[in-house]
Structure 1
Amino acid sequence: MEKKIVIIGAGPTGLGAAYRLKELGHKNFAVYDRLPYIGGLASSFTDSAGFTWDIGGHVMFSHYKYYDDVFDKLMGKDCQLNMRECWVRMFETWVPYPFQNNIRYLPKDVTLECLLGLVEAQTRRNPKAAKNFEEFIDAVFGDGIAKHFMKPYNFKVWAHPPAMMNKEWIGERVAVLDISRAIKNVVLGSDDFGWGPNNQFKFPLFGGTGEFYRRFEKPLAGHVHLNKTVDVINPARKEVRFQDGEIVAYDELISTIPLDKLCNNVLTGEVPREIKKAAASLRHSGGYMIGIGIKQPCPSTKSWMYFPESNCPFYRVTYLSNYSPHMTPDNSRYYSLLCEVSYSEFKPVDETRVVDETIQGLVNAGLIKEEDRKDIVDTWVFDAKYSYPTPSVERDEILSEVIPFLESQQIYSRGRFGMWKYEVSNTDHSLMQGVELVNRLLLNEPETTIGMTYSSTTDGRNAAVHERSPRAGSGDPRRSVVSTGPAKTNPDQLGDQHEAHISEEELGVTVGPSAEKSLKTAKR
């Protein structure tokens, strides 16, 4: 007889596991979620004003052919391919991303400070000796870049001091810059944009990021049960009891419940004290997602932007309406900004003031003008109490104790907060954690994603090709793509001192089989 597999959580990990079980012909499984919808943190919502919002600035790029195939199968033609146009807002100007590769756009005295700090760091300091993320920042980037960008920005993102974080999570998320490249960019005036894994990304035409996960409903019909909150899990009896009183038996349990809550609030029976204590020591941040709908044609082709300075509460803002023309009631008359504000015990945020402070921050950062306040027609707030799993210094030691204990009880904790490894908790990673676990349980294949490590390289992935793409988000800040209504304002009209005139896509697209195919398609 088929063993009964119960999955707790209908986010990307749970859906990936269920989809793979169905694909392999396994019928004896069920998915339960406390929410009335599937998708978890990858869900999207359309409010009463007609704006669609994501829980954070998701972009759908993939490290996996399997993920790409599932996306293509479920979405078909109902998506578009966007070119990333990403910026950093500092010193009243827009600096192309990544900041550390483009310090020539800063005021000259700051550029010199950053360059001298980089030379000093990389000739006198040893990043391998760094014991935490803060020491890594100092050793790799030097005092200038650390002071002006890396430390303030990372505190705004993580809501934890960088000294509390390990350096192993970094991988391809932080562009590491060597001295010769930095000097070349400054002296020759080179733009250095061709870095990172997501120069192109897909996005559903309708319904936001969550539409992709909503489309798992049909192939998983009869297996997904919503509005089911777990009360307790009894590993000895292999039973899950829900708050409505239903008890479900299992042979294998896949859980995406946050690991600290699973061990301390959900499991009953013989759970060692040291396991509970270790899991309780895991750290995380929460996040307010604030959507601002504005009744104006969109004034920019940007995708998303980073904000390290203290004149605004958010660390990232996304022109969500640029991801698809159907994210607002009418894309010729409205646009939307999605702002993200982190919080923790180290960085408290007043919920009653966060919207007002966000709007003021948009003015301070030059994204809107004071007179644009009257055109704000919609605000949306989502409080993600578990937003980022913090890669704390002690995290890996904790996981090395807690995960094996759970698996000895036939409980497999996976997903963004089930595995607590931020570096493998993008939506594609999360879905594949579920897929690979099922392959392990049914096919005896090893999991790879949960142990994945990345090398920090100077260009993130591969070399760049110099090619402008005509696809969405081509990036010239002075090109108007609005055919009706007032002409777009360019960033200089918002008080910039100087401006990067060339998009990162104009100078670099990550090279790989999929990128090369996209470039050939674009040329045609």
Structure 2
Amino acid sequence: MRVKYLIIGAGPTGLGAADRLRELGHNDFLVLEAEGHVGGLSASFTDPAGFTWDLGGHVVFSHFEHFDRLLDDLLGDHVLTHQREAWIRLADTWVPYPFQNNIRRLPPDMVWECVQGLLAVARNGASASPPAHFREWIEKSFGPGIARLFMLPYNFKVWAHPPETMSHRWIGERVSVVDLARVLENIIRSRDDVSWGPNRTFAFPLTGGTGEIYRRLAARFADRVRLGQKTVAVDMATKTVRTAAGMTVSYDRLLTTMPLDRFVLDVAQGLPEAARQAAARLKHNGALIAGIGIDGHRSDSKCWMYFPESNCPFYRVTNFHNYSYNNTPAPDGTVPRHRALMTEISFSGYKPEDGADHIKRAVAGLGAAGLLEPGEDARVVSTWQTRLDYAYPIPCLSRDGALAVIQPLLEAADIFSRGRFGGFKYEVGNMDHSVMQGVQWAERMVAGTPETVYRLG
């Protein structure tokens, strides 16, 4: 079999690319997907008890008109819109997100520790030398108080890599920097400050979880999606792909969305040793995702919560029943009769985690965090879990140098690696970014339009 455009992976990037090719009238394409479903890391699943779960706490927000139109076309009125309500659990209290704007919620000694650090940062001002890594950026931006209490423990919990091994150049709009006057005013006026960030409003499908978006998108060209076709070899010289199921496809241009390190080290045939050495310098973490379904409902308007402390194993919990009442079984109108709590635990060589007792530790952590009342673990009616070996691409200090070696070598052979892990750039790895990486790749292939979301430089 031969196609002009071959796409590896039916996640947001691969499906975004295929759909744009279709829109542009170029239908000579094929999508190969290793799993038996579409959606990639944005897939959703319904457990035997009727709870729907995502692969982590996804929210849909956008920087792009094309993505907005796509969602409107796919979902229509089959969508719910929410105001973000995110919180941090620390010192037996809840602090609104972003933490640094709402330290007034902490006990007085912690508030003063944070303020002292912020004052020291303000005194150093622009004379401070540039940070060498993420840990230095945290300390220079927030001072030792906020660093000790929240930024350092939370970031190790989520990334599972020491912050001194990471670059700070990915930050952008991902982290709210400090406005000292604003922080002090919030303290004095006893005011919560929760408006920061691009995801302060977000959308969610009415039924089917986040994966519903991609099931509907793939249905537009279902005859050109092959499920259960794991790519095991790409011969760069002959431009041929072979799958574990025995399928062979030749191509003119290849878009791969599989993890770039795995593509280079395990799949691509014909790359020089320099590319393999570069791929070995790319870092990622994994995640254990648990869904805990609880009989009975109680009022709690929080969307998701962050947990920097060591009394619970997860870094984030999502009130998934608040995203859509249809994420729980037998909803009664718009009020769920159950709660659906989704937990996320990161792991890496720096932070190993035992998956064998994952659910037990997650349930115990929910109790320690105050999300389950004493004895309420007896009301757990469903548990669901999965392991993601690739959860976040780490913006490590060696990443940009590695990409600068690998990507030009691939593109010289008409191979383009894009997406959350195909491109390996966390800062453009949100759902909207990922779809648009595929869209812009398709436009580049057809019309030569430059890509602006994913840049090689």
Q: How does 1:214-225 map to 2 (within 5 A)?
A: 214-225=215-226
**What residue number does 2:46 align with?**
46
**What residue number does 1:134 align with?**
135
| 1:240/1:248 contact within 8 Å kept | yes
| 1:60/1:201 contact within 8 Å kept | yes
Q: How does 1:124-523 map to 2 (within 5 A)?
A: 124=124, 129-269=130-270, 271-331=271-331, 332-451=336-455
Taking the aligned partners of 1:116 and 1:395, their CA distance within structure 2 comes to 35
TM-score normalised over the length of structure 1: 0.84
Letter in 2 for 1:426: N
**What residue number does 1:116 align with?**
116
Deviation at 1:218, TM superposition (A): 2.1
Deviation at 1:80, TM superposition (A): 0.9
Deviation at 1:299, TM superposition (A): 3.1
Taking the aligned partners of 2:264 and 2:122, their CA distance within structure 1 comes to 43
Taking the aligned partners of 2:308 and 2:287, their CA distance within structure 1 comes to 16
Runs of 4+ more than 3 Å apart: 125-128
Give secondary structure in 2 for the equivalent of 1:215: helix
Alpha carbon RMSD of aligned pairs, Å?
A: 1.4
Structure 1 stretches of 5 or more lacking a match?
Answer: 454-524
**What residue number does 2:97 align with?**
97
Taking the aligned partners of 1:350 and 1:141, their CA distance within structure 2 comes to 33
Taking the aligned partners of 1:299 and 1:348, their CA distance within structure 2 comes to 35
Residue 338 to residue 452, structure 1, CA distance change in 2 (3 Å): farther
Query: Residues 59-81 of structure 1, C-alpha deviation per residue, up to 9 Å, x if partnerless?
Result: 00011110011111011111111
Give secondary structure in 2 for the equivalent of 1:369: coil
Deviation at 1:452, TM superposition (A): 10
| 2:286/2:347 contact within 8 Å kept | yes
Query: Residues 212-244 of structure 1, C-alpha deviation per residue, up to 9 Å, x if partnerless?
Result: 100013211211011001120001000001122
Give secondary structure in 2 for the equivalent of 1:15: helix
Give secondary structure in 2 for the equivalent of 1:150: helix
Give secondary structure in 1 for the equivalent of 2:192: coil
Deviation at 1:15, TM superposition (A): 0.1
Letter in 1 for 2:414: Q
Taking the aligned partners of 1:122 and 1:355, their CA distance within structure 2 comes to 44
Taking the aligned partners of 1:361 and 1:413, their CA distance within structure 2 comes to 38
Give secondary structure in 2 for the equivalent of 1:276: helix
Taking the aligned partners of 2:302 and 2:199, their CA distance within structure 1 comes to 14
Taking the aligned partners of 2:323 and 2:183, their CA distance within structure 1 comes to 32
Deviation at 1:446, TM superposition (A): 0.8
Taking the aligned partners of 2:47 and 2:149, their CA distance within structure 1 comes to 37
Letter in 2 for 1:18: A
**What residue number does 1:499 align with?**
none
| 1:158/1:390 contact within 8 Å kept | yes
Deviation at 1:249, TM superposition (A): 0.4
| 1:169/1:391 contact within 8 Å kept | yes
User: How many residue pairs get matched?
Assistant: 451
TM-score normalised over the length of structure 2: 0.97
Taking the aligned partners of 2:118 and 2:356, their CA distance within structure 1 comes to 41
Residue 76 to residue 137, structure 1, CA distance change in 2 (3 Å): same
Taking the aligned partners of 1:344 and 1:154, their CA distance within structure 2 comes to 13
Give secondary structure in 1 for the equivalent of 2:258: coil
Taking the aligned partners of 1:301 and 1:452, their CA distance within structure 2 comes to 41
| 1:424/1:452 contact within 8 Å kept | no
| 2:404/2:456 contact within 8 Å kept | no
Taking the aligned partners of 2:456 and 2:373, their CA distance within structure 1 comes to 44
Identical columns (%): 48
Deviation at 1:368, TM superposition (A): 0.8
Query: Residues 444-463 of structure 1, C-alpha deviation per residue, up to 9 Å, x if partnerless?
Result: 1110111399xxxxxxxxxx
**What residue number does 2:69 align with?**
69
| 2:84/2:303 contact within 8 Å kept | yes
Taking the aligned partners of 2:303 and 2:269, their CA distance within structure 1 comes to 46
Give secondary structure in 2 for the equivalent of 1:231: strand
Taking the aligned partners of 1:431 and 1:132, their CA distance within structure 2 comes to 29
Taking the aligned partners of 1:241 and 1:224, their CA distance within structure 2 comes to 16
Taking the aligned partners of 2:328 and 2:295, their CA distance within structure 1 comes to 10
Taking the aligned partners of 1:196 and 1:237, their CA distance within structure 2 comes to 47
Residue 81 to residue 452, structure 1, CA distance change in 2 (3 Å): farther
Structure 2 stretches of 5 or more lacking a match?
Answer: none
Give secondary structure in 2 for the equivalent of 1:222: helix
Give secondary structure in 2 for the equivalent of 1:203: strand
Q: Which moved more, 1:298-307 or 1:34-43?
A: 298-307
- Verify: 1:7 aligned to 2:11, yes or no: no
Taking the aligned partners of 2:179 and 2:72, their CA distance within structure 1 comes to 38
Q: Which moved more, 1:111-120 or 1:186-195?
A: 186-195
Deviation at 1:369, TM superposition (A): 1.2
Letter in 2 for 1:289: I
Query: Residues 289-330 of structure 1, C-alpha deviation per residue, up to 9 Å, x if partnerless?
Result: 110000011431110000001100000000001001100113
Deviation at 1:433, TM superposition (A): 0.2
| 1:339/1:358 contact within 8 Å kept | yes
| 1:292/1:379 contact within 8 Å kept | yes
Q: Which moved more, 1:218-227 or 1:304-313?
A: 218-227
Query: Residues 1-22 of structure 1, C-alpha deviation per residue, up to 9 Å, x if partnerless?
Result: x970000000000000000000
**What residue number does 1:501 align with?**
none
Give secondary structure in 2 for the equivalent of 1:278: helix
